[in-house]
Amino acid sequence: MKLLPRILYFSMLLLGIAAMAGIGYYSAQYLHNDDNRITRLPHADSHLEQLGEGHHRKKLWVCPMHPQILQDHPGICPICGMDLVEAKGAHEHGGAGVQVDAASLQRMGVRLASAEQRTLSREVQTYGTVAIDESSILNISPKIEGWIRKLHVNAVGQQVRAGQVLYEIYSPEMVQRQREYIELLQRRDQLLQSLTELSGQNAQAVVSLARERLRSREKFVYADVSDSILNEIEKTRRTVDIVPVRAPKSGFVTQIGVREGSYVTPLVNLLSMADTSRVWIDIELYPDQLAWVKEGDEVSVKLPHSDQPQIRGRLQFINPTVDSATRTVRARLVVNNVHLLLRPGAFVDVIIATQPHKTLAIPRSAVMHTGNGNKVMLSRGDGHFIPVSVETGIESGDFIEITDGLQEGAQVAVNGQFLLDAAASLSDSAQRMQGDH
């Protein structure tokens, strides 16, 4: 009999708790106004509706050309007639973005840029080595036998100007040729002195001597005897025993094969010269870069740790073989080096612009890289900005490709976008708190 009172006691206790919970829920749904009338709170039903809808994210549609046109359902822009597109990344509850006055925008340094069609290329970054253009290398050998009496080039790397004396040679063969040439000139002078008594046969002899003189001069020129030496011989009628040989073009010495006093023949390479006004840049390409690079691609070359402007050119040659030691493929670029800024053997930074194509692009500084993806602050006009998620592609220079999320002509914030995004987040949080309370 003692069990029945206990059961009745616990039953009454449970009923009391249920009654208190009902009163609390009723009080949460209603408030007394100034006239002592009970008013239903509007957020209660909306909260229940959100629970019933499973907290679905509210979608917004915006005009690509007129971002001030924004609505919560698909449609057509009343200004330009374009179809509205979904504004990805906009905050929910309709309170998307933030409104900032013109003075604050100026203090924040906010600048706008339009999404435009640009030609972008995938940039392949590698390094290169400056090398001598092998087509400019000149080997200098004597045309006759003799002894090097004086060598005016003493070190590898010495700069040589066109017309500068390289060496002086004494050749008995050259002296004998000069004597024969002097005799030829003397016979011609004798014939010209008897000009009044010329017969047909004498006239033919003069013509023959003139031809022989021209052939002799050509032989001297071939033997690196300058016109000034020949003119001196014709004027003085004396031989020049030691003949100076001059450089045919400018460059720097890459190799010296003889010294003063050496006996040389036409088979001896006295020295080698190279012209560095045009150089090669040997580029190293790795296996994962070969699929993008092809001959004719535009290349930018920059000296590391230098303020010199970039040197541009086009890829002219790709080696078909792979280096067995480095497992790389060597490509070649030919560039002008008139100011001698590029020294053979130096390393340079190389950027190859591959597969150029036209695409929608914005400045790289406009994109905010977050843990939830990439975003930009889209301007709707009158200082109103909304965060929009975008899909990005390749980067080229100061621009980045936009594959999804923006339309051509849309304006985005380039500077101060992080401040705008933070303000939009605070505004959205405040709207959430106001809606919940």
DSSP 296-325: T-EEEEE-TT--PPPEEEEEEEE-SS--TT
Q: What are phi and psi of 78, to 5 degrees?
A: -75, -10
State whether 128 and 161 are in the same domain.
no
Are 259 and 301 in a shared domain?
no
345 and 335 in a common domain: yes
Rounded (10°) CA dihedral 186, 188, 189, 195: 150
- The answer to whether residues 283 and 350 belong to one domain is yes
- What is the number of other CB atoms lying within 10 angstroms of the CB of residue 196? 5
Confidence (pLDDT) at 64: 62
Residue 321 belongs to a domain with what CATH number? Answer: 2.40.30.170
The whole-number pLDDT of residue 230 equals 87
Looking at the structure, do residues 270 and 138 belong to the same domain, yes or no? yes
Q: Same structural domain for residues 77 and 177? A: no
Q: Are residues 268 and 305 in the same domain?
A: no
Q: Locate tokens 């995004």: which residue?
A: 421
pLDDT at 424: 64
Which CATH number do you get for residue 140? 2.40.50.100
- Total domains in the chain come to 4
pLDDT at 202: 61
Residue 253 domain boundaries = 134-274
Q: What whole-number distance in Å separates Cα of residue 175 and Cα of residue 169?
A: 11
| pLDDT recorded at residue 61 | 75
User: What is the rounded distance in angstroms from the CA atom of residue 287 to the CA atom of residue 284?
Assistant: 10
Average pLDDT by stretches of 10, the chain with 437 residues: 44 42 36 34 33 46 66 82 66 53 78 90 90 92 93 92 93 90 83 61 69 81 85 89 92 92 93 93 91 90 86 91 90 90 91 88 89 86 85 87 89 80 60 49
Helix intervals (H) in 90-130: 102-108
Cβ partners under 8 Å of residue 175, min gap 6: 239, 241
What CATH number is attached to the domain comprising 367?
Answer: 2.40.420.20
Last residue of a domain, one of 34, 53, 72: 53
